[in-house]
Amino acid sequence: MLKPRLGYDNLGLGVGLRTVHFAHILEHEPEVDWFEIISENFMDSEGRPRSVLEQIAERYPIVMHGVSLSIGSTDPLNRDYLKKLKSLAESVNAHWISDHVCWTGVAGRNTHDLLPIPYNESTLSHLVKRIRIVQEILERPLVLENPSSYLEFKDSTMTESEFVCRMAEEAECGLLLDVNNVYVSSVNHEFDPVKYVEAIPAKRVVQCHLAGHTNCGTHLIDTHNGQVIDPVWELFQLLHQRTGGVSTLLEWDADIPPFPVVHEEVLKAKNYMDEKLHVSEKSFVEKAVANTSSTAIPHPASFITAEVE
Amino acid sequence: MSDESRNLDRIQRWMQTVICWPSGVEAGIASEEAQSKIPLQSSELDTVITASSQLTSQERLGIYANAYYARLLECLSEEYPALVCAMGKTAFGAFSMEFLQEYPSTSYTLCELGAHFPQFLKETKPATEDGEVNWTDFLIEIAWLERVYSEVFDGPGIERETVLSAETLNSIAPEVWPELRLKMAPCFRLLEFQFPVHEYISNARQGNSPTIPEQQITYLAITRRNFIVRRESISQSEYFLLSKLEQGLKVGDAITQFAESGLMEPDELDVNLHQWFRHWMASGFFIDVCDS
Ligand SMILES: [Fe+2]
């Protein structure tokens, strides 16, 4: 029988590791349960980022989250990348490796964006085949996240939740359910986020992501800034009830506040872990004031700037 | 390849072309490159991408097009903050757009994104008739040094290596020295510029708006200690000698060539050599001595 979280640990409430917090974490050793790293920022590093990561990995559990696997692309898988991913996982003792249900580029190029794929039988079998290969190379189940998306394809014959569920079952991989992404996409594509979360195979959910987004009036953008809004917390609560609790992590990538503020935000999750609490239907309303700022960038990339004396 | 996966391949090549098209989604759809993947009138976009009740299919595709340039421009600005300061945001943005056409990312890591930016600036430099050093050269030099900073910062270093200790050096008999070669630290870089760009960069990175410096030949020795990039301005003499050592010349031969260069009066040579070597050793420029 399938074990909850595919047998992976529930690490508790974690924070995405960002360069601006390096000094604070090393100096204060905050009581955060675990850290998630952006794999690509560390896999080639022979400088301070890698050294800081090694120090942090001595004290905290580490999970690796990638943005360039491009599992949905029709380009061949990058074996060199996978080898490096595996060796980083070994060296920092990563609990698991995750990436996204998306493609990032084709014809040898990388747009550094998480681009959506059409959801149909042929794309499903394409992904399942590739996930199996990746799992063989990494020698562990891959964990894949539902991305935020801003368009849908005419070629789709199934909903995203149907696609993600079948993909997880058929490829025997894990899921990283980003409840903010579910919410963002539900507004953009006008579906019911509760039904999405209710359809997910609970035991395959290894991890959950929380984040803030930007309301552009006509659509939402997954900017990873600001606080988590109530409707997203309520999706989290529902997921918690369905899974019995999974490792949960807050992503904050733009206008990053001091570490304690980020940590405090993820600790709010405790308020939604009471099994007896009921999800209130009426609060599934976007409350944030429309912000039509054109500077909103989906999941901003984190680039590490050199330190020079 | 099955029919269906060929479809996915076509959709991906088409979508990448359209969202990366510099003059926008509409022109992207109409482009020959996109048309060769999916022949389409702008008005037929709904046959590939659906609309929502709030946004047209073109507006939805446009979100990805905006994000592509915004995200990569932000990364380039973070790698080249002093260049942004010197060029101004608008010009930097325009150059970045062109740069991304010429050198789109082909790597899984963003660390590689800006690698060719200095070279790109050089390639697009308008030819000057008199070959005189000008403002564009200044910009190219800033870009070049900022890229070196990135590479030295995240590349191999000496933090985990045992650097040459004073004891090791003292144990070498004076008569052996001329026959030795020095192995440079992997993070060591020796550079020559037409402008004191290192000062400009430091100033700009501190958030100031420095004025453009006068032309002045500048020699820099760059290395990394404790994971921080260190740069120091050195004399032409030091530059000469260090470059000979970096080329792998024996210490004796490097000194002979230096003496013959006429860069220094013979009577000053001894004192300076002694001081320089002590300083270079202390700065971790060398990681080993070898006698072959
Ligand atoms: Fe996420």
- B71 to A297: CB separation less than 8 angstroms, yes or no: yes
Spell out the CATH class of B158-290.
Answer: alpha beta
Q: Place B42 in a pLDDT band, splitting at 50, 70 and 90.
A: confident
Closest-CA residue to A184 (of A139, A159, A147): A147
Segment A58-103, tens digit of pLDDT: 999 999 999 999 999 999 999 999 999 999 999 999 999 999 999 9
Q: What sign for the dihedral angle of Cα A237, A241, A243, A248?
A: positive
Average pLDDT score, chain B: 93
Q: Does A127 touch chain B (CB under 8 A)?
A: no
Q: Place B290 in a pLDDT band, splitting at 50, 70 and 90.
A: confident
- B63 to A150: CB separation less than 8 angstroms, yes or no: yes
Best residue of A112, A253, A302 to probe chain B, by most B CBs closer than 10 Å = A112
Q: How big is chain B, counted in residues? A: 292
Give the CB-side neighbour count of residue B144, counting CA atoms within 13 A.
19
- Whether residue A174 contacts residue A5, with contact meaning beta carbons closer than 8 Å, is answered with yes
Segment A221-243, tens digit of pLDDT: 999 998 999 999 999 999 999 99
Provide the percentage of residues in chain B whose pLDDT is more than 90: 80
Segment A138-149, tens digit of pLDDT: 999 999 999 999
- Give the separation between CA A180 and CA A230, rounded to whole angstroms: 10
Best residue of A73, A111, A124 to probe chain B, by most B CBs closer than 10 Å = A111
Average pLDDT score, chain A: 93
- B218-225 and A247-251: which strand pairing? unpaired
Note the pLDDT of residue B2.
43
Give the CB-side neighbour count of residue B105, counting CA atoms within 13 A.
25
B266 burial type by CB count under 10 A (0-12 exposed, 13-18 middle, 19+ buried): exposed
Q: Place B20 in a pLDDT band, splitting at 50, 70 and 90.
A: very high
**If you measure CA to CA, which chain B residue comes closest to A84?**
B108
Q: Tell me if ipTM is over 0.90.
A: yes
- Main-chain phi, psi angles of B222, to 5 degrees: -120, 135
Note the pLDDT of residue A277.
57
Task: Return residue ranges of chain B for CATH 3.90.930.50.
Answer: 158-290
Task: Considering only the beta carbons, identify the residue of A68, A189, A309 that sits closest to B230.
Answer: A309
The alpha carbon of A10 and the centre of ligand 1 are apart by a number of angstroms equal to 17
Question: Is the predicted pLDDT of residue A291 greater than 70, yes or no?
Answer: no
Q: Does B16 touch chain A (CB under 8 A)?
A: yes
Segment A104-119, tens digit of pLDDT: 999 999 999 999 999 9
Taking one residue from A and the other from B, the number of pairs with CB-CB distance under 8 angstroms is: 181
Q: Does B109 touch chain A (CB under 8 A)?
A: yes
Q: pTM of the predicted model, to two decimals?
A: 0.93
Q: Kindly report which listed range (A18-27, A136-145, B111-120, B154-163) carries the lowest average pLDDT score.
A: B154-163
Segment B123-154, tens digit of pLDDT: 998 877 677 888 899 999 999 999 999 999 99
Note the pLDDT of residue A275.
61
Note the pLDDT of residue A59.
97
B122-126, B198-202, B275-279, range with greatest mean pLDDT = B198-202
- Mean pLDDT for B53-62 is 97
**E strand map for B177-265:** 181-184, 189-193, 218-225, 228-234
- Main-chain phi, psi angles of A30, to 5 degrees: -60, 155
Note the pLDDT of residue A300.
66
Question: Is the predicted pLDDT of residue A283 greater than 50, yes or no?
Answer: no
Q: Does A51 touch chain B (CB under 8 A)?
A: yes
Task: Considering only the beta carbons, identify the residue of B72, B154, B155 that sits closest to A112.
Answer: B72
Closest-CA residue to A88 (of B36, B109, B187, B98): B109
- A308 to B64: CB separation less than 8 angstroms, yes or no: no
Provide the chain B residues 195-234 that lie in CB contact (below 8 A) with chain A.
201-202, 205, 224, 227-231
Render B136-161 in DSSP notation, one character per residue.
HHHHHHHHHHHHHHHHHHHS--STTS
- Mean pLDDT for B238-254 is 96
- Give the separation between CA B82 and CA B71, rounded to whole angstroms: 19
User: How close B106 comes to chain A (CA, Å)?
Assistant: 4
Question: Is the predicted pLDDT of residue A281 greater than 50, yes or no?
Answer: no
Q: Place A294 in a pLDDT band, splitting at 50, 70 and 90.
A: low
A238 burial type by CB count under 10 A (0-12 exposed, 13-18 middle, 19+ buried): buried
- Give the separation between CA A19 and CA B208, rounded to whole angstroms: 23
- Main-chain phi, psi angles of B60, to 5 degrees: -65, -45
Task: Considering only the beta carbons, identify the residue of B4, B15, B107 that sits closest to A122.
Answer: B4
Q: Place A295 in a pLDDT band, splitting at 50, 70 and 90.
A: low
Segment A26-53, tens digit of pLDDT: 999 999 999 999 999 999 999 999 999 9
Note the pLDDT of residue A279.
52
Q: Which helix (H) or strand (E) holds A143?
A: strand A143-145
- B9 to A74: CB separation less than 8 angstroms, yes or no: yes
Note the pLDDT of residue B133.
80
Note the pLDDT of residue A299.
72
User: How close B220 comes to chain A (CA, Å)?
Assistant: 13
Note the pLDDT of residue A304.
78
- A97-100 and A143-145: which strand pairing? parallel
Q: Does B5 touch chain A (CB under 8 A)?
A: yes
Report which DSSP code applies to A40. G
- B12 to A51: CB separation less than 8 angstroms, yes or no: no
Question: Is the predicted pLDDT of residue A284 greater than 60, yes or no?
Answer: no
User: How close A189 comes to chain B (CA, Å)?
Assistant: 6
- Give the separation between CA A182 and CA A205, rounded to whole angstroms: 14
In 3-state terms, what secondary structure has residue A274?
coil
A236 burial type by CB count under 10 A (0-12 exposed, 13-18 middle, 19+ buried): buried
